Amino acid sequence: MSRLDSVIRRLQAQRACLDCAAENVAGKQGVILEMGLGNGRTFDHLRDRLPDHEIHVFEREVRAHPDCVPDQDHLFLGDMRETLLQAEDRLKGSAVLIHADIGTGDEERNRAFADWLGPALRPFLAPDAVIVCDQEMRCYQAFQMDLPDGISPGRYFMYNIK
């Protein structure tokens, strides 16, 4: 598989998982957390699919297209290892959907970061929340959801925490 094929498959998997999660949470009251704004593509997709849900974004440094930058009230700017702590009082128990797209080319770093992030998100989860992530979150292994049709296991990860 070429690198182009690989990127396309990853983005198709990402979109399919986000669409599946959006259907799952559409009728539920609560907020969305977007961990990592990047170019703002998935932020834009989520606000398109779930226009009635507030989206709070955690990002170290904003470099997205200006159309895809949340307002100040919905942006936690800085390292999420610190900003998540600051957000806890405000957003505790309120997230019906969390999307974390935080991987880099460094597999060891990705594994360590996901092992930290999974438990760090726990205080934010509303009952029956869905987490969609580009990395495996081992602490939620018991809550893995089936991936949408055609998405290979391990390409993206979905959890429904009961």
Per CB under 6 A, does 81 bind ligand SAM? yes
Strands (E), 115-156: 125-133
Q: Which of 10, 36, 123, 160 is in the footprint of ligand SAM by CB under 6 A?
A: 36
Binding mask 84-103 for ligand SAM (x = CB under 6 A): -----------------xx-
Name the one range near ligand SAM by CB under 6 A: 38-46, 49-57, 118-126, 145-153. Answer: 38-46
For tokens 């925490």, name the residue: 161
- Residues forming beta bridges with residue 129, ordered by sequence position: 161
31 neighbors 55 (Cβ within 8 angstroms): yes
Per CB under 6 A, does 39 bind ligand SAM? yes
Q: What is the C-alpha radius of gyration for the chain, rounded to an integer number of angstroms? A: 15
- Shortest Å, Cβ 128 to ligand SAM: 24
Rank residues 27 and 104 by Cβ distance to ligand SAM and give the closer one.
Answer: 104
95 neighbors 126 (Cβ within 8 angstroms): yes
Residues 28 and 24: their CA atoms lie apart, in Å, by 8
Positions touching ligand SAM (CB under 6 A) are: 36-42, 58-61, 79-81, 101-102
